[in-house]
Amino acid sequence: MTLRDTLSLSFRTVRSNKLRTGITVAIIALGITALIGINTAIVAIQQKFLESFSSMGALGFTLRYQEPRRFFRNEEVKKEKKGQKKEKKSSQGKPITENQAEAFKDIYHFPAQVSTNIMGVRDAIISYGNQKTNPNVWVVGGDENYTSLNGFSVLYGRDLNTLDIQTSRNVCLIGKDVATRFFGESFERPLDKIIRINNIPFRIVGTLEPKGSTFGRSLDNIIITSYSNVRRYFNSNPNASFNIQVKVPDIKLIDGAIGEATGTFRTIRRLSVTETDNFQVDKSDSFAEMLIRNLSFITFAALLIGVITLVGAAIGLMNIMLVAVTERTKEIGLVKAIGGKKKNVRYQFLYESIIISMLGAGFGIVLGIILGNVVGILLSTSFVIPWNWVITGIVICSLVGLLAGIYPAIKAARLNPIEALRYE
């Protein structure tokens, strides 16, 4: 018997036992669906994290106010190694001021973009004519570089410019939700119109491209104006801290940019050599990396679920193959009687086991990708195919089919042809 004859016989046998084959395929498909589906969803979630927290990608970092660490008695605690030179604690409780942020922007001469910004309010009411929004609009204060460093793009009109910042003109950029609320689907209509933010008039100079939603918050329900306006109108906390964002053109420059930024800002904050930093340097993708690391637990759980299911499927598949050996004892004797060798019988049963396992893998991979991308659709991410897990699923199912079929195949190959032909 040739390899082609053996494979053909295996396929015919698998087709002839549709119910038994279908049940086994379904069990295997269930395990692969869990494995592929959960990991497809994880890849989609990772994409959303990177979009949400890393709008500057790996090319940017942020200087922000470092909150003092306080414990039960409101005392700052500093762990010191034995024998290490004691460092003087820097003064805490001093947020980054507007003057410090502007001074950094003027002094910092590294080849990079710098943006100064501050958070305004998250419950602003926007009005135009007789219409008003709900008190849920975010107002953010930035400068001429804020949009490009935070993943926004101006669709119509213009961005904020240096003159807007220096003169504190009441101009703003509006997101899609605000634009459609008052002006319909036309993004050009809002230009040069006067809206009122918490009853303060502002002229619209640009509309932003839609960005969608992230974790229940619409990124289009936003208004961007100058940080000086936010400081003057929308920030009741006198101790509110500014953030400084920096973006370099090449990832190779990121470490040098961080080092120079730290040294420059220490000078601005008037820290001595022995004082520790009283500000924090965060890389743009640090939050995303932290959340993605936490997803590894979900990946492990998916792998565990898939393996447990596939172990059960392997046991079931082996049982089915052993039953098949008993049912087809006479057929095995006939194959040997007409010249079939032990290896032909052995290969036939191995191929049957692997074919059933691979059918389960095929159905499971397709279902897993579909179910995983349902999560992607809900998060508004692109279609995802986790090729590494697809290949892993195929390899696992091949091993399941091989291991489940080895013993039945050996048992079938060892049957005595004369006794097999007499079997009733």
Q: Model-level pTM greater than 0.85? A: no
Q: Which of 284, 317, 352 is the last residue of a domain?
A: 284
Is residue 172 in some structural domain?
Answer: no
Same domain, yes or no: 296 and 280: no
**Are 109 and 251 within one domain?**
yes
Place of tokens 């240096």: 162
Beta bridge partners of 65: 279
Domain shared by 327 and 242, yes or no: no
> Is 175 a member of any domain?
no
* Residues 251 and 109 reside in one and the same domain: yes
- 341 and 296 co-located in one domain: yes
Do residue 248 and residue 376 come from a single domain? Answer: no
Q: Which of 284, 300, 324 is the last residue of a domain?
A: 284
Residues 417 and 355 in one domain: yes
pLDDT of residue 69: 52
SS3 of 416, please?
coil
pLDDT of residue 344: 74
Per the domain annotation, does 401 fall within a domain?
Answer: yes
Note whether residue 189 is domain-resident: no
Domain shared by 321 and 407, yes or no: yes
Segments in the chain below pLDDT 50: 54, 70-87, 90-91
Q: What was the pLDDT predicted at 322?
A: 78
Nearest alpha-carbon partner for 367 in 21, 31, 46, 47? 31
pLDDT at residue number 71? 42
Any residues with CB less than 8 A from the CB of 223 and at least 6 apart, and which?
124, 126, 137, 138, 139, 140, 172, 173, 174, 175, 178, 197, 202
Is residue 356 within 8 A of residue 14, CB to CB? The reply is: yes
One-letter amino acid for residue 117 of the chain: N
Same domain, 347 and 277: no
Examine residue 198 and state whether it is found in any structural domain, yes or no.
Answer: no
Residue 32 in domain: yes
For residues 338 and 244, give the distance between their C-alpha atoms in angstroms, rounded to a whole number. 84
Within 10 Å of residue 379's Cβ, how many Cβ atoms?
19
- 311 in the same domain as 363: yes
18 and 70 belong to one structural domain:
no
Q: Is residue 103 assigned to a domain?
A: yes
Backbone angles phi and psi of 250, in degrees to 5:
-140, 135
333: containing domain: 3-53+289-422
Structural domain contains residue 380: yes
Q: Output 300-308 pairs: Cβ under 8 A, ≥24 positions apart.
A: 301/38, 302/34, 302/35, 302/38, 302/39, 302/42, 303/35, 305/31, 305/34, 305/35, 305/38, 306/31, 306/32, 306/34, 306/35, 306/393, 306/396, 307/31, 307/396, 308/31
Report the number of distinct structural domains present in the chain. 2
Q: Write the CATH number for 63.
A: 3.30.70
Residue where one domain finishes, among candidates 267, 284, 301: 284
pLDDT of residue 294: 66
Element containing residue 244 per DSSP (H, E): strand 243-247
Residue 164 CB partners (closer than 8 Å, separation 6+): 144, 171, 205, 226
Do residue 305 and residue 351 come from a single domain?
A: yes
Structure tokens given for 34: 């869990």
pLDDT tens-place string over residues 187-203: 899 999 999 999 999 99
